[in-house]
Amino acid sequence: MEGVLQGFSIVLLIAGAGYLASAFRLGGGTDPQPALTQVIYYITNPALMFVLLAGTDLGAVFGVFAPAALLTAAATGLVYALLALAFFRRNAGTVAVGAMSSSYVNAGNIGLPIALYAVGSSVPVVAVLIAQLLVVAPLYIGIFSWAAERRRRREADDGARRSLWRAVTAPFANPVTVATAAGLAVAASGLQLPEVLWNPVELVGHASVPLLLLVFGMSLYGQRPLGSRELVVDTLVASGVKLLLMPALGYVAGRWVFGLEGVDLFGVVAMSALPTAQNVFLFSGQFRMDSVVARDVVFFTSLLSFPVILVIAVLLA
């Protein structure tokens, strides 16, 4: 219980500070969000991923938890995508934003305290991070890049070769994926970086979560949840899939596919019930996708996933 409360209080307090910063115009006449987004995307987020993964016990993570997390995320995103393509008739970029919003969890700042206090181990949350950063995020970034290039070509008519090259390289050339791969390489090799290198990277990485939450809070100012009538259904369906379907699929994957029981099963299901990560808002905005669905799903799931996780704790813990 303490871990659940701590994780959610962190999100609400820091995002609230960002909201107040925008409300009182603490940046003067300039909007700090674009600059902060670039700092997070290119510097602090990669540093955080490297630090988290460099000290990981790869055997424990890759045994069961990472495959279970990957299967759950893939099945959840696929269900949303099929619903969106069949009933909403959205373009590929909008569908991808909704699918990622419904299946990409906030493992970093909510999942970690929940895993440590409620499960007693960081293995489930690190497994989710690895599955998301090595497979799920590159997949969606590739789709975002492809959709952005299609839009750019329609506007500038620059040709297809550049578009294909960007779509192919974007999932693997983005700084988060590169940092994740580097962290895993360090973990696999057993190498320990000297403190003169490790400490600065660790310090910069620790700035990522508060900065990301501040930017998310800033983005909420002046916006109404469900303010875009055209995307109300998308937001509600993505939120419902995230809050209800993904934990159910996590239970199916953990219990019936991988044979988990007890605290291990609780760890898989609890990680599946985490709210949508602010990184979805970051990635979609970075590629100039319509990030309204991502923002609203992050908002609703951050509020409503708390009772869902409490119910899961009562039933499984």
What's the rounded Cα separation, in Å, for the pair 210 and 277? 13
Count CB-CB contacts under 10 A for residue 56: 21
Q: Whose structure tokens read 């962190």?
A: 10
Domain edges within the chain: 2-316
- pLDDT, residue 117, reads 66
User: What Cα–Cα distance (Å) separates residue 146 from each residue in 34, 81, 91, 162, 289?
Assistant: 22, 17, 12, 11, 11
2-316 maps to which CATH number? 1.20.1530.20
pLDDT of residue 25: 80
Check residue 248 and give its pLDDT.
Answer: 98
pLDDT at position 74 is 97
What is the per-residue pLDDT across 62-93, written as a single tens digit (0 to 9) for each?
Answer: 888 999 999 999 999 999 999 999 998 888 89
Mean pLDDT of the chain: 86
pTM of this prediction?
0.81
**CB 104, CB 132: distance < 8 Å:** yes
Q: Given the structure tokens 């055209």, which residue do they identify? A: 230
Encoding tokens for residue 77?
């995103």
Low-confidence ranges of the chain (pLDDT < 50): none
pLDDT tens digits for 38-48?
999 899 989 98
Output the six-digit token pair for 94: 């909008």
